[in-house]
Amino acid sequence: MAAERGNLKMADLESVGPGTPAGRYLRLFWHPVIRAQDLPVGRAKPIEVLGEKFTIYRGESGTVYMTAFRCAHRGTQLSLGWVEGETIRCRYHGWRFDNDGQCVEQPNEDRPFCDKVKILARPTREYAGLIFAWLGEGEAPPFRNIPDLDRPGVLIADPVEVLPCGYWNRFDNDHGHRAWVHRATAIRHNRPDILVIRHEAVEESEYGWRGTRAVSGKKGETAKTSMGAVEDKEGAHEDFLKMARHKHWIMPNIRLWFQRTRAKGFQGREFWETKCVWTVPINDQKMAAFDVTLTPLEGEDARVYENSRKTQQESEAETRWDLAEKVLAGEMTLEDLPDDMGAYTSFTIEDYVTQVGQGPIAGRGEEMLAVTDARVILTRRLWLREVNKLLAGEALKQWKLPEAPFMPAKPPSAEICGKREPADA
């Protein structure tokens, strides 16, 4: 009833299927649905996004198509069949559909009626190592590039994080958690900067909101951490770090920020990466995080970094959720994670256990939000405002990204990247 009246509560935004308040709003935007490298040429896969199931396949030309989950004939899962050219054939009785969903062959029928059979087809777009799809009604809006990901450097799409929790558990992941959730990683990798306790001010922007982080004290002085005091190393290169201390939220579900690299063998090098993460609901109880990193390296440095990073990420991705579930079950602690585990992987495990452990908003009882929850409060307010407008038939805010990247043209990494740390650093 609340949704019908346009007077939503946060719990009303947890459902994302067709016709739900949040589902309707999310379907106004393009979303990543699979990592590009996970869909080889000539392969089809089943996927679920926003509570709907689809078939996604890459034709022999390399083009990606997304169609209905089931064959129109007897409802068999289409991804079980074959990709033939730019079409897909059902394994059950051989019906074949083109990339627009039109049936083009019914080999078992003496009197084919292909022209009367058409299944759903959705527009797709490949960008930044990901495959995006449009799930809304009518004509798709223009695709939004992220200017910071279009700069020179190494662009890597990490293995997709799939968490058995609602997408708001990731949306609500405020900056104040870093010194506590990621404490074990900071100690293991000698990263006291992670332990610095920062406060964040947020303000609405033309694209969503911008958050500005600050530490107590001034540049070069000691700052309060979760374990005592540490020098504020981010005081160096102040002009650049004014940008690095910002986090950007691009409505409805994109986070963008800058950080020192955590990749093995490169931790000691003072260059800053651009991180961009799309949080996409799979259904009401499961979400996917599509994490893309742009690292400002070129030439031989870029080749070495890319090979090392991909090898590390792919190998550790196979075991990270098993370890996370053991932590949640009390069989081990985050401090028990292997010493040689990469910081990227241990960060994802730490986020997994805290976010999955929250459970759904509707079931966790009354929350005691504080002043330091400013980011959470603003994100929820923007979402509730826009979805209520959608239900009331009012004009929505047209979110606009700046044409230029947020990152300065020449960050200090250009002066420092020449120093290579040992491979086992």
Does residue 334 lie in a domain region?
yes
State the pLDDT at residue 225: 53
- Please report, as a single letter, which amino acid is at residue 40: P
Do 111 and 211 lie in one domain? The reply is no
Q: In the chain, pLDDT over 70 holds for what percent of residues? A: 85
State the pLDDT at residue 41: 98
Question: The domain that contains 74 carries what CATH number?
Answer: 2.102.10.10
Q: Average pLDDT, stretch 334-347?
A: 89
pLDDT at 268 over 80: no
Residue 322 CB contacts under 8 Å (≥ 6 apart), including other chains:
none
> Is 269 in contact with 419 (CB distance < 8 Å)?
yes
pLDDT at 272 over 90: no
Do 179 and 228 lie in one domain? The reply is yes
Instruction: Give the integer Cα–Cα distance in Å for 5 and 17.
Output: 19
Q: Average pLDDT, stretch 299-311?
A: 84
Do 254 and 188 lie in one domain? The reply is yes
Instruction: Count the Cβ atoms, other than its own, within 10 Å of residue 247.
Output: 22
Q: Classify residue 217 by its DSSP letter.
A: S
Does residue 188 lie in a domain region?
yes
- Please report, as a single letter, which amino acid is at residue 207: Y
Does residue 210 lie in a domain region?
yes
Cα dist. 282→17, 28, 74, 164, 217 in Å? Answer: 10, 16, 25, 10, 43
User: What is the reported pTM?
Assistant: 0.86
Does residue 16 lie in a domain region?
no
Q: Average pLDDT, stretch 171-183?
A: 89
Calculate helix-pair angle for 299-317, 343-356, nearest 10 degrees: 40
125-139, 296-310, 362-376, range with greatest mean pLDDT? 125-139
Do 84 and 206 lie in one domain? The reply is no
Do 70 and 170 lie in one domain? The reply is no
- Please report, as a single letter, which amino acid is at residue 285: Q
Question: The domain that contains 365 carries what CATH number?
Answer: 3.90.380
304 vs 278, residue with greater confidence: 278
Does residue 129 lie in a domain region?
yes
> Last residue of some domain: 105, 134, 163?
134
Does residue 235 lie in a domain region?
yes
Task: Give 60-63's long-range contacts (Cβ < 8 A, gap of 24+).
Answer: 60/85, 60/86, 61/85, 61/86, 63/99
> Is 127 in contact with 144 (CB distance < 8 Å)?
no
Report the chain's mean pLDDT, rounded to a whole number: 86
Domain of residue 288: give its range.
147-416
Does residue 1 lie in a domain region?
no
pLDDT at 236 over 70: no
State the pLDDT at residue 415: 40
pLDDT at 351 over 80: yes
Q: Average pLDDT, stretch 379-402?
A: 97
Does residue 141 lie in a domain region?
no
The C-alpha angle 200, 280, 290, rounded to 5 degrees, equals: 80
Among 25-29, 228-232, 335-339, the minimum mean pLDDT is found in: 228-232
Do 235 and 277 lie in one domain? The reply is yes
pLDDT at 79 over 80: yes
Do 185 and 78 lie in one domain? The reply is no
Instruction: Give the integer Cα–Cα distance in Å for 88 and 97.
Output: 5
Q: How many domains does the chain have?
A: 2
pLDDT at 396 over 90: yes
State the pLDDT at residue 410: 59
pLDDT at 3 over 50: no
